[in-house]
Amino acid sequence: MHFPSHKIAAHHKHDKGRIFAWMGLISSTGYASFLTMLPIIIAEKLHSDVYVGYYFAILAVISLAVSLLSGKILKRFSKITLTKTILAVLATIFFLLTFTTSIWNFAALDIGRVILISLFFIILAIFVRDFASEEEMALAEGRFFLFSNIGWVIGPLTGGFIAKTYGPESVFIFTAGCYIVLLGLFLQQHIIAKHPNIKNTTSKISTTTNVGSISENIKEYFKNKDLVTASIISFGMYFWWSISGIYIPIALKNLGFAPDVIGLIFALNVIPLILLEFHSSDGARQYGIKTYLVMGFSILSLCLILFTLASIPMLIKLMIVINVGSAFIEPIKEIFFFKVVAPRDEERFYGIYSASYPIAYIIAPLFGSLMLFSFGINGIWLGAAVVFILITLVALTIDRKY
**Residues 225-260: pLDDT tens digits?**
999 999 999 999 999 999 998 899 888 988 888 888
> In the structure, what pLDDT confidence band is assigned to residue 285 with cuts at 50, 70 and 90?
confident
Residue 7 pLDDT more than 50? no
1 pLDDT more than 60: no
CA dihedral 66, 92, 159, 46 (to 10 degrees): -70
| Domain made up of 15-395: CATH architecture | Up-down Bundle (1.20)
Percent of the chain predicted with pLDDT > 90: 30
Provide CB contacts within 8 A for 1, sequence distance 6+.
70, 71, 212, 214, 217, 347, 348, 349, 350, 351, 352
Nearest residue to 5 via CA among 160, 210, 255: 210
> Using CB atoms within 10 A of its CB, is residue 154 exposed (0-12), middle (13-18) or buried (19+)?
buried
For the chain, how far is it from start to end, CA to CA, in angstroms?
25
pLDDT > 80? residue 321: yes
**Whole-angstrom Cα distance, residue 233 to residue 291?**
13
Burial (CB count <10 Å: 0-12, 13-18, 19+), residue 93: buried
195: left (phi over 0), alpha (psi -120 to 50) or beta: beta
Q: What is the pLDDT of residues 118-155, one digit of tens each?
A: 889 888 877 776 665 555 666 676 677 778 878 888 88
Residue 208 has pLDDT above 50, yes or no: no
Of residues 14, 5, 3, 2, the one with CA closest to residue 196: 14
pLDDT tens, position by position, 168-201: 888 999 999 999 999 988 887 655 544 333 333 3
Can you give the pLDDT at residue 355?
Answer: 82
| Phi, psi for residue 9 in degrees, rounded to 5 | -130, 150
Q: For 68-103, write each residue's pLDDT tens digit.
A: 787 778 778 888 889 899 999 999 999 999 888 888
Percent of the chain with pLDDT over 70: 85
Neighbours of 257 (CB within 10 A): 18
Task: Mention every residue, 6+ apart, whose C-beta is less than 8 A from residue 321.
Answer: 272, 303
Round the average pLDDT of the chain to a whole number and report it: 82
Domain ranges of the chain: 15-395
Instruction: Provide the residue type at 15 as one letter.
Output: D
Please state the pTM of the whole predicted model: 0.72
pLDDT at position 386 is 96
Q: Is residue 338 over pLDDT 90? A: no
